[in-house]
Amino acid sequence: MNVRFSRPKIAIAVAVTSVIFSALPAHASLFSDNETRQAVVNLRATANLLSNQILAVQRAIFDQVNCFEQLNQQVAILRGKNEDLINQVTVLQTQQHNYYTDLDSRLKKLECHQKMISRLQGKAQSSEADEFNAALQLFKKGHFKSAASGFKAFSLKYPNSLYQPTSQYWLGNALYAQRKYKLSTLILRGIVTKYPTHPRAPEALFAIANNQWEQGRKNDAKRTLKQILSQYKTSNAAQAAQKRLLQIQ
């Protein structure tokens, strides 16, 4: 059976078919673009999330670095303070050693001086010598408070004794050992004033310089040491004063 179509109908059919087939690719392409856009959006969201997480980690690391730097600074400060304390302790130990070495030397000289006084003068009564030596023995044993009391009692009981300047000298040292620096200086200054030519006078000045140094009066200590060099150039105290000046300048 032969079917014939008119030209207008064929044209319409061709047009409809073209529209259908042309529309199919366009629909498929539109669907693919939406999926791609959604994937891009998802990737961007994921990237932003990761970026934020990285920034958070970087901030945490930065904070930790700052903390470590602060701790390092604090450790450096503590180390510096520790070194200062060690240096101060070393200086104090050296000063203490020098003091007791010098003290031992003075005690030996004192014993010789006592014997010389007894031989040349022969005026000191045995009771005076006994009481003086008793106080001196207390000092040698480190009983500074009892020694100070003994020297005070001796000075009051024997104001005209030949031992008086030496008794005052050791009284000043006993007070120094108790850190009674002002009272010690007062006693020692009396020796320089009352007995300026006595062998204990330059040693009393040196002891005064030690008192001033312990009180933090560095300039006063320097002046006292220079006074020794000026007034008692040939004394043993002058040699000690010269060494001390070199140490503290």
The verdict on 55 and 175 lying in the same domain is no
> Could you tell me which residues come within 8 angstroms of residue 123 by beta carbon, excluding any fewer than 6 positions away?
162
Read off the tokens for 169.
């000298």
Q: Which domain holds residue 18?
A: 1-95
Tokens of 38: 């959604």
Tally of CB atoms within 10 A around 212: 20
CB 166 within 8 A of CB 200: yes
Say yes or no: 43 and 66 in one domain: yes
Question: Which residue, of 80, 95, 110, is where some domain finishes?
Answer: 95
**129: which residues sit within 8 A by CB, 6+ positions away?**
114, 118, 163
Of the residues 95, 130, 157, the one at which a domain ends: 95
User: What CATH number did the domain enclosing 235 receive?
Assistant: 1.25.40.10
Verify that 145 and 238 share a domain, yes or no. yes
> Cα dihedral sign for 37, 43, 49, 52?
negative
Residues of the chain scoring pLDDT < 50 = 2-3, 5, 9-10, 13-17, 19-31, 120
Number of domains in the chain: 2
How far apart are alpha carbons 95 and 89 in whole angstroms? 10
User: What is residue 29's predicted lDDT score, i.e. its pLDDT?
Assistant: 47
Q: How far apart are CA 167 and CA 133, in angstroms?
A: 10
Whether 114 and 87 share a structural domain: no
Give the pLDDT confidence score for residue 79 in this predicted structure.
79
Whether 57 and 139 share a structural domain: no
Do 72 and 142 lie in a common domain? no
CB burial of residue 98 (10 Å; 0-12, 13-18, 19+): middle
Instruction: Report helix, strand and coil shares of the chain as percent, to nearest 5.
Output: 85, 0, 15
Q: Assess whether 78 and 133 both reside in one domain.
A: no
Q: Which of 75, 95, 115 is the last residue of a domain?
A: 95
Whether the model clears a pTM of 0.75, i.e. scores above it, the answer is no
Look at residue 20 in the predicted model and tell me its pLDDT.
44
| Residue pair 135/170 in contact by the 8 Å Cβ criterion | yes
Which pLDDT does position 91 carry in this prediction? 67
